[in-house]
Amino acid sequence: MANISTYPLGSPKTDDMLAGTAVNIEQADGTKINVTRNFTVGDVAAFAVNNYTETTVSLTASQVAALQSTPVELIAAPGAGKYIKILELSLFLDYTAPAYTFAQTIDVDYASGQTIATATTAFGQSAADAVFSVGTLFSGIVPADDKVQITTGGAVGGGGGSSMKVKVRYQILSAINF
Amino acid 49: pLDDT:
63
Q: Where exactly are the structural domains of the chain?
A: 13-50, 52-174
* 99: pLDDT strictly greater than 90: yes
% the chain with pLDDT above 90 = 65
The per-residue pLDDT for range 114-162, each reduced to its tens digit, is: 999 999 999 999 999 999 999 888 888 999 999 999 999 999 999 999 9
The fold adopted by the segment(s) 52-174 is Jelly Rolls (2.60.120)
CB 154 within 8 A of CB 104: yes
Phi, psi of 164 (to 5 degrees): -145, 150
Measure the CA–CA gap between 24 and 146, rounded to whole angstroms. 24
- Identify the three-state secondary structure at position 165: strand
* 35: pLDDT strictly greater than 90: no
For all residues of the chain together, what is the average pLDDT? Answer: 91
Amino acid 6: pLDDT:
83
CA neighbours closer than 13 Å in the CB half-sphere of residue 150: 26
Amino acid 1: pLDDT:
64
